[in-house]
Each structure stands twice: as structure tokens, then as C-alpha cells.
Chains A and B, each alone.
Chain A
Amino acid sequence: MSVKIFKINEDLKEFMPQEIVDLEEKATWGNPKRGVMDLPYSKELIEEHSLCAGCPESAAFRYILASLPNPEDTVIVNSTGCTSLVFPHIALHTVHPLFGNQNSVASGIKRVLEWRFPDKVKDVVVIAGDGATIDIGLDCTLQSFFRQEKITTICFDNEVYANTGGQDSGATPKGMEFKMAPGGKQWDKVPMWQLAIDSGCHYVARLSVSSPKKVEQVVKKAIYVAREVGPTYIHLYTPCILEIGLNADQGLWEMRQRDKERFKFFEYMTDEAKEVIKRKKEEGLL
């Protein structure tokens, strides 16, 4: 456990920015029961965010960071896109490697942390968009699953390349019109959650971020299973309200619509994963 790294030297405290002091005093460290219910009362691990007003991705970030069971020993690897703008605002060790190689970099980090710290639990979590996970990075994503890397991969699926101005991605549903699919996308949405199952993930969940409590549950399950068994995958719908023409207050409404169809809650787990989840429930951690 490395909570001590957030302790500020008393002599320097008066010079530190308030948000850094708050991280020491009001953030939830060393408590695996932390969760989204702490959000109004504790210091969040994300300081502001640089996304659009009302962006569901920003909600996803807040819920995930509030749900990490072991933030003091969690490393996050991200990729290029809207998400990469947020990482410098996160109070954990984060890496922006390149576009699409996030799961490869995470594999290297996880293996070396296991080698360097055999007696500590160090969680490695990948957070990347649909373009990074499913298109340009599909090889690295799936290969990390094949190799049974003990990492959790979270895909923020907004069904479009949003940061580059709205081009269709592998996750765009067929027929939807974006800037590189004039007249509508010609092939189907890639069922990434199914590919994750077929490629060896031990826990897979698909959902929108309309329910914070649900996000907390799947994040905790995925991290606990990855720690002990092998790769886990979470596919989250975080619509780009800008690119689909919605207002800042309509993100939640949009997600609730999709909850009934292509982002209907779906969960898969192997027998080994079930055992871990059962045990964690008995321990009161889920």
C-alpha cells in the first residue's frame, strides 16, 4: 500500500494548492469499500475535467475512479482521444502511450509490477475509447486477452471518433451517418463484448453509465477477477452528445433509451470468476 505517497510534508503544506491538500485529507484511501456513494462527501481522484459540458464520459470517469477498490496501488493506462485529455487531471499514475497500444503497454507494466512487488497487489486498468480498443488497437486488445494478462480493460464506447470531429468507428451501428460514412455506415457494429468472451476474458459486462451503482459493481468485479484470474472487459456506453446532436442535459436520457436495446445490461463470467465474486461478496466487498 502506498497511501503515504499522498502525505504532504508539514512544512510545505501551506504552499500546496488546495486540491492537493484535499487529496491527502478528504480522498478515500485504503478502503476497498469506497464507492460512488462517497462522491458528494469525499475528494474525487479527478480534478475537474476537460470534456464537454454534460459529457457522459465525464460521468463514467468519476464513477470508475470512485469505485477503484485499491486506488493507492492502481495504475491506469489510456489511449488517444477525448479520454486522453482527462488523464493529466487524475491523481494516480497514468500513462498515455500511443493510439491503440494501451493493452500492450499495460501488459508490460502489470508483469513488471508483479516481478518487482511480489507481495503487493497492484491493479492495472486500461481505459480507452472504441476507436482505440476496437479499431486501431484491436490486435493489442485481443492479444492481451489471449495471453491472459491480469488487467482490466474498460472501453468507453461513444460509437464514433469524437475527438477528431465525428468519423464512424467499428462500434458505430450499421446505417448511422458520420463524416467517413457518407450515406451511412455499411457494416455492423463490432460486438466487442463477444470478442472479449471468445478471446479468454473471465468477466465481461456491457452497460451504459446511466446507473452509477451498477458501474461501481461491474468495475469492482472486473478488478477483483483480473487480480486473481485473468483479463476482464467492461464495455460502457458513453454517448457523444455533441456528435449525435443532443443538448448538455440529454446524455442521461440518451443512455436510458439505449439501456432498453443495444446496451441492455449484459454480464458474463467464467466459473473461476464466479468463485472470486462469491468470495468478495462474502467478505462484504461487493
Chain B
Amino acid sequence: MPEQVKTEKVRYNRMGQRIVSPDYLLFEAPRTKHFITGSEAVKEAAKRASVDASISYPITPQSEAAHMLGELWREGYIGVYFRGESEFGVMSEIAGCAMAGARTITTTSGPGTLRAMELFPMWAGSRLPIQLVLMARGINSPLSIQPDNLEIYFLLDTGCMVWHAETAQELFDMIIAGFVVAEQPDVHIPVITAIDGFFISHTREAAYLPPEDIALPPYDPYKAPMPPIDMEMPPGRFMRDPFVMKSNYISYATHASWQFEVRAAIERSRPYAKHYLRGLVEHFGDPEGEILFIASGTAAAQAKEATQILIHEEGIKARVLRIKTIRPFPTEEVREAVKGAKYIFIPEFNVIGWLEREVKRALYGYTDIPIFGTPRVGGGMTMPPEFIVQEVLRIIGKEVKHVG
């Protein structure tokens, strides 16, 4: 008598990739080393994410990622793809795709983000789990295509989740996690996965990728909190009487409560993001560091370098708290991390210091530790670690020994 074999039904997506759980894809599948750019990380992630639709529009530095999503469509990994007429058009078209029940991804940068701005609150209000990969660049004017992440500030209160990746590797993992978290029925809002343009999009680095023949389970639009627009479910006549443009207390209350609900959905994403991103923050350096950098994206990478110099060359205990999710903002993690610090520095690749504002808001009334929003560069300027160290030494009143 043959041995009883335990079988599990193997499922495949439309492209013939074996469907695996998000946990398997992100944490358990064997990985091999590749040497890729951030743009290629977008392609590699989308390839393993059972994506239904992507719409593109050219703008530097995100164009290459968008080209490669087109290649995936041509190869059959993505169902719908075309170039739209403008970012406003593209973000509208991708909204239509998501409303019709598709898992969607699109990309943009700088002025394109601002051109499309009207759409982001609409995505959130319509509870569309669209993924926008944002490759941040300067905002005009004067014309700039250089790395500068000012645009992220404009997106913080659109009702979308906003995550900030530090490396191509993290972008790859964040894109896959982004779909999983954004599509949770109790979250179901857009996710913006941001990187600093050029620094990540155009530079090549080692990344470990799972095999290409496995992929995320396909999106199931019938688990969405709002019915997909496909006439396969009873019409959602939740507005028997349109509340817009009615001047009465019920209409105001309806609109206000919906705005709160979108923000509450961001809050509900916390446990999922913590699991799939392995924490909303990363700790780096000497756990007893009295110099604490709080940073995200490429600024965090530079702060880590500066931390090494401070520890090993200046003999100063230093550490980095890297923020992975700006929305939801890791308020508790930040409050916990500042314990023991004497100085907090927030280096940023933008002139206004949006992360400094976020951190100060989280810490108001919780600590007396001085917070310095520096160094801060913009317009494409680089932020060498030596420059960060110099700023720190100057502010804490120590002699600048090794750099200058």
C-alpha cells in the first residue's frame, strides 16, 4: 500500500509563477545575490508580485523603472500597461484600473508628483490600494532634475501610507510588502514607496532576490472595503443622498468622519507594516550613543557612515534611528529611542526639514534633549559623512580633528 502523501494544492498565477505566501516570499524563500539599480529593484519586485496593471509617463529619474514595467507587460507578467498623457492622466488611469479590481503599480518623480497631486487624496478617499514608487527629485523652479526629497513633504497628509527606503534591496522588499499591507481589508489605502532619486534609482548595489518563478497571491478585489467598479457586486449605494454640496450637519459629519477613517486606516497598517518591514525603524551604531541621528532614506545611509567616523575616529558614542515609515509615523519608537541621547541630529536632503518637523511633533513634551535639524542639503547637493561629522562636532563644541 503506497504511503499516504500529504499534498497541498499548488496554485499558479496567470504568468505560471507558483503562488507563495507573503511571508515565504519575503522571509523564507532562498535568495541569490544580484548587482542591481533601484530601477531594476522595481522591476524585480513587480515581477514577483502578480501585478495586474501599470501606467507610465516619462520623467527623470523614474523613467527607467517605468520602461522596465513595460517590459514586464510585454513578457506577460503585467496585464495592462500603457503610457498616459501626463501624471494627472496617469494617476487617474491607474485609479480606474484599481477601481476595476486590479493590483496596480506606477512611478513618478518631482514635478510629476505635483502635477498629479489632486489624485492622491482621491485614491485614499476611494480606498484604492495603489502602489506609487516615488523617486524623489527637485521641484521647480528653477528647473532641476537633481536628487532632493522635498516632494515627500507634500504627500504626508494625502491619506496615503508613505514609506522611505534606504537601498535597492529595501526598495525591492518594500514594494512586495507594500502590496501586502496596502491590500489588507482593514487598511486598503494607497502606499507610496519613496526613494531618493539617482542615489538609489541609478546606482548599482548588491541585492538578494528570491527566485523569479514564485509570486505573491493575486489581489482579490472582493475583499475590499468598497465594492470594485465591475458590476459583479450589488452597487454600493452608500450615498442615497449625495453629501457633497449639501449644507447640513449630516453632510459635514459624513465627510469629516470619512477623513478620520482614512487616517485610522493608516494607523491600522502599523502591525502589518511592523511584521512585513521587520519594524517601522532600524537601530544602527552604539546602543548607548549620546549622539542620535534620526533620518530616513539616503540621509540615513550617510548618517550611518558619519556614525562610524564618530565612533572609530572621534571616540564619540553615536547611533542612528532610521525611520522606514513616515506614514504611519513611528512615534512610540522615536520616543523610546531618544532615551539616553544627549543630542539629536536630523540630516535631510531637502531645505525645509520635514522629518525634523515630524520628529519634533512626536517628541513635544516628552524630552528636553536639544534637536538640531542639520545638516540639510537640497537641489542635488551631496551630504558627505565628513560634513555631517563636522556639523556635529561644531554644535557639541568639540574640536574638529579628523575632518575639515
Residues of A whose CB lies within 8 Å of any CB of B are 2, 5-6, 50, 72-75, 77, 84-85, 87-95, 97-98, 101, 104-113, 115-117, 122, 139-140, 143, 147, 163
Flag if A101 contacts B102 (CB, 8 Å): no
Q: Of A73, A91, A95, A108, which is in contact with the most chain B CB atoms at under 10 Å from its CB?
A: A108
Which B residues are in CB contact (< 8 Å) with A143? 84-85, 89
Instruction: From B53, B227, B239, give the contact of A108 (CB < 8 A).
Output: B53
Q: Please measure, in the bound complex, the distance between the C-alpha atom of A104 and the C-alpha atom of B240, giving whole angstroms.
A: 26
C-beta contact mask, B368-394 vs A, less than 8 Å → 1, else 0? Answer: 000000000000000000000000000
Q: Please measure, in the bound complex, the distance between the C-alpha atom of A144 and the C-alpha atom of B232, giving whole angstroms.
A: 25
Flag if A116 contacts B230 (CB, 8 Å): yes
Instruction: From A73, A74, A84, A109, give the contact of B100 (CB < 8 A).
Output: A109
Closest to B81 in A: A111
B404 within 8 A of partner (CB):
no
Instruction: From A85, A89, A122, A147, give the contact of B230 (CB < 8 A).
Output: A122
Flag if B99 contacts A105 (CB, 8 Å): yes
Find residues 219-266 in chain B having any chain A CB closer than 8 Å to their own CB.
227, 229-237, 239-242, 244-245
Flag if B102 contacts A112 (CB, 8 Å): yes
**What is the minimal beta-carbon distance from A286 to any residue of chain B, in angstroms?**
23
**What is the minimal beta-carbon distance from B325 to any residue of chain A, in angstroms?**
27
> Contacts A84-B244, A88-B241, A108-B99 given: A93-B229 contact, CB under 8 Å?
yes
Q: Please measure, in the bound complex, the distance between the C-alpha atom of A192 and the C-alpha atom of B319, giving whole angstroms.
A: 63
**What is the minimal beta-carbon distance from A163 to any residue of chain B, in angstroms?**
8
Instruction: From A74, A85, A108, give the contact of B242 (CB < 8 A).
Output: A85
Q: Of A50, A74, A77, A115, which is in contact with the most chain B CB atoms at under 10 Å from its CB?
A: A115
Q: Please measure, in the bound complex, the distance between the C-alpha atom of A14 and the C-alpha atom of B53, giving whole angstroms.
A: 42
Flag if A88 contacts B237 (CB, 8 Å): yes
B92 within 8 A of partner (CB):
yes
Q: Please measure, in the bound complex, the distance between the C-alpha atom of A89 and the C-alpha atom of B241, giving whole angstroms.
A: 7
> Contacts A75-B230, A88-B237, A111-B80 given: A140-B89 contact, CB under 8 Å?
yes
Q: Of A2, A97, A112, which is in contact with the most chain B CB atoms at under 10 Å from its CB?
A: A112
Closest to B238 in A: A88
Closest to A7 in B: B234
Flag if A112 contacts B85 (CB, 8 Å): no
Flag if A101 contacts B231 (CB, 8 Å): no
Flag if A112 contacts B97 (CB, 8 Å): yes
Which B residues are in CB contact (< 8 Å) with A77? 96
Flag if B52 contacts A109 (CB, 8 Å): no
> Contacts A75-B230, A88-B241, A98-B118 given: A113-B100 contact, CB under 8 Å?
yes
Flag if A122 contacts B231 (CB, 8 Å): yes
Which A residues are in CB contact (< 8 Å) with B236? 93
> Contacts A50-B242, A104-B84, A112-B80 given: A92-B235 contact, CB under 8 Å?
yes
Closest to B88 in A: A101
Q: Please measure, in the bound complex, the distance between the C-alpha atom of A206 and the C-alpha atom of B244, giving whole angstroms.
A: 31
Closest to B80 in A: A111
Which A residues are in CB contact (< 8 Å) with B88? 101, 104, 139-140
Closest to B118 in A: A98
B93 within 8 A of partner (CB):
yes
> Contacts A95-B229, A143-B85 given: A108-B96 contact, CB under 8 Å?
yes
**What is the minimal beta-carbon distance from B96 to any residue of chain A, in angstroms?**
2
B82 within 8 A of partner (CB):
yes
Q: List 20 A-B contacts (CB under 8 A).
A: A72-B231, A88-B237, A90-B235, A97-B122, A98-B122, A104-B90, A104-B96, A106-B96, A108-B93, A108-B96, A108-B99, A108-B100, A110-B100, A112-B101, A113-B100, A115-B53, A139-B85, A139-B86, A139-B89, A147-B82
Q: Of A50, A116, A163, which is in contact with the most chain B CB atoms at under 10 Å from its CB?
A: A116
Q: Please measure, in the bound complex, the distance between the C-alpha atom of A279 and the C-alpha atom of B301, giving whole angstroms.
A: 66
Give 3 closest A-B pairs by Cβ, nearest first.
Answer: A108-B96, A104-B92, A101-B92
Flag if B229 contacts A88 (CB, 8 Å): no
C-beta contact mask, B14-54 vs A, less than 8 Å → 1, else 0? Answer: 00000000000000000000000000000000000000110
Flag if B229 contacts A109 (CB, 8 Å): yes
Q: Please measure, in the bound complex, the distance between the C-alpha atom of A66 and the C-alpha atom of B239, giving whole angstroms.
A: 22
Flag if A113 contacts B230 (CB, 8 Å): yes
B285 within 8 A of partner (CB):
no
> Contacts A105-B93, A139-B85 given: A5-B231 contact, CB under 8 Å?
yes
> Contacts A74-B231, A93-B235, A108-B97 given: A88-B242 contact, CB under 8 Å?
yes
Flag if A85 contacts B55 (CB, 8 Å): no
Flag if A115 contacts B80 (CB, 8 Å): yes
Apart from A112-B52, A115-B53: 12 A-B pairs, beta carbons within 8 A = A5-B233, A85-B242, A85-B244, A90-B235, A91-B235, A104-B93, A104-B96, A107-B93, A109-B99, A115-B52, A116-B102, A163-B245
B95 within 8 A of partner (CB):
yes
Closest to B233 in A: A5
Which B residues are in CB contact (< 8 Å) with A139? 85-86, 88-89
Q: Please measure, in the bound complex, the distance between the C-alpha atom of A178 and the C-alpha atom of B190, giving whole angstroms.
A: 41
Q: Please measure, in the bound complex, the distance between the C-alpha atom of A88 and the C-alpha atom of B246, giving whole angstroms.
A: 13
C-beta contact mask, B331-352 vs A, less than 8 Å → 1, else 0? Answer: 0000000000000000000000
Closest to B227 in A: A93
Flag if A5 contacts B242 (CB, 8 Å): no
Instruction: From A5, A50, A98, A116, give the contact of B101 (CB < 8 A).
Output: A116
Find residues 77-119 in chain B having any chain A CB closer than 8 Å to their own CB.
79-80, 82, 84-86, 88-90, 92-102, 118-119
